[in-house]
Amino acid sequence: MALREIGVGLLGFGTVGAGVVAALQRNAELLAERLGLRLRLRKVADIDLERERGVELDRSLLTTDALSVIRCPEVDIVVELIGGTGAARTLVTEALNAGKPVVTANKALLAEHGEEIFGLAERRNVDIYFGASVGGGIPIVRALREGLVANRIESICAILNGTCNYILTRMEQDGCSFGRALAEAQKQGYAEADPRLDIDGLDTAHKAVLLASLSYGSVVPLAAVHVEGIRDFAETDLRYARDLGYRIKLLAVIKRQGEDVEVRVHPTMVPQEHVLASVGGVFNAVLVQADLSERTLYYGRGAGRDPTASTVLGDIADVAKNLRSGTRRRFHALLRSGSQVRMRSMADVATRHYLRLHLLDRPGVLAQVTAVLGAHGISIAAALQKESGGRHVPVVIVTHQAREREMAAALTELAALEVVSGKPVRVRIEDL
425 scored as a contact of a second copy (CB under 8 A): no
Which residues 340-379 are close enough to bind a second copy by CB under 8 A?
Answer: none
Task: Look at the alpha carbons of 198, 199, 201, 202 in this order and tell me if their dihedral is positive or negative.
Answer: negative
Q: Which of 207, 249, 386, 423 is catalytic?
A: 207
Reduced to 3 states (helix: H, G, I; strand: E, B; else coil), residue 412 is helix
Decide whether 206 or 274 has the Cβ nearer to a second copy: 274
Which residues 263-292 are close enough to bind a second copy by CB under 8 A?
Answer: 273-275, 277-280, 283, 290-292
Of 82, 73, 5, the C-alpha closest to 43 is 73
Which residues 28-47 are close enough to bind a second copy by CB under 8 A?
Answer: 29-31, 33-35
Distances (CA, A) of 190 to 142, 183, 193, 269: 26, 10, 10, 23
Instruction: Give the interface size with a second copy as a residue count (CB under 8 A).
Output: 64
* Distance in Å, CB of 218 to a second copy, minimum: 12
For a second copy, which residue of 1, 58, 258, 325 counts as binding (CB under 8 A)? 325
Which residues 235-254 are close enough to bind a second copy by CB under 8 A?
Answer: none
* Distance in Å, CB of 64 to a second copy, minimum: 28
Burial class from Cβ neighbours inside 10 Å (0-12, 13-18, 19+) for residue 249 reads: buried
* Distance in Å, CB of 18 to a second copy, minimum: 13
The CA distance from 262 to 350, in Å, is 10
219 scored as a contact of a second copy (CB under 8 A): no
For a second copy, which residue of 71, 152, 403, 405 counts as binding (CB under 8 A)? 152
Phi, psi of 111 (to 5 degrees): -75, -35
For a second copy, which residue of 65, 146, 192, 348 counts as binding (CB under 8 A)? 146
* Distance in Å, CB of 258 to a second copy, minimum: 15
Looking at the DSSP bridge assignments, the partners of residue 290 are 153, 294
Decide whether 74 or 273 has the Cβ nearer to a second copy: 273
Decide whether 147 or 221 has the Cβ nearer to a second copy: 147
Q: ∠ CA 317-87-7 to the nearest 5 degrees? A: 25
What element of type H or E holds 28?
A: helix 28-35
* Distance in Å, CB of 183 to a second copy, minimum: 24
Site string for a second copy, 288-307 (x = CB under 8 A): --xxxxxxxxxxxx--x-xx
* Distance in Å, CB of 325 to a second copy, minimum: 4
* Distance in Å, CB of 305 to a second copy, minimum: 9
Decide whether 326 or 364 has the Cβ nearer to a second copy: 326
CB-CB neighbours of 98 under 10 Å: 14
For a second copy, which residue of 21, 69, 138, 429 counts as binding (CB under 8 A)? 138
For a second copy, which residue of 1, 2, 150, 193 counts as binding (CB under 8 A)? 150
Instruction: Reply yes or no on whether 321 is catalytic.
Output: no
318 scored as a contact of a second copy (CB under 8 A): yes
C-beta of residue 273 within 8 angstroms of C-beta of residue 70 = no
Distances (CA, A) of 101 to 76, 217, 321: 7, 20, 12
CB-CB neighbours of 43 under 10 Å: 23
214 scored as a contact of a second copy (CB under 8 A): no
Decide whether 17 or 424 has the Cβ nearer to a second copy: 17
For a second copy, which residue of 163, 204, 310, 399 counts as binding (CB under 8 A)? 310
What is the DSSP secondary structure assignment for residue 219, as one 8-state letter? P
Distances (CA, A) of 26 to 30, 113, 318: 9, 35, 19
Decide whether 35 or 263 has the Cβ nearer to a second copy: 35
For a second copy, which residue of 66, 69, 91, 143 counts as binding (CB under 8 A)? 143
Task: Look at the alpha carbons of 277, 278, 282, 287 in this order and tell me if their dihedral is positive or negative.
Answer: negative
Supply the DSSP string of 220-272, one letter for each residue: PPGGGSEE---TT--HHHHHHHHHTTEEEEEEEEEEEETTEEEEEEEEEEEET
* Distance in Å, CB of 153 to a second copy, minimum: 11
C-beta of residue 425 within 8 angstroms of C-beta of residue 356 = yes
**Which residues of this protein are in contact with a second copy, per CB under 8 A?**
19, 23, 26-27, 29-31, 33-35, 131, 137-139, 142-143, 146-152, 273-275, 277-280, 283, 290-301, 304, 306-307, 309-311, 313-314, 317-318, 321, 325-327, 330-332, 335-338
Catalytic residues: 207
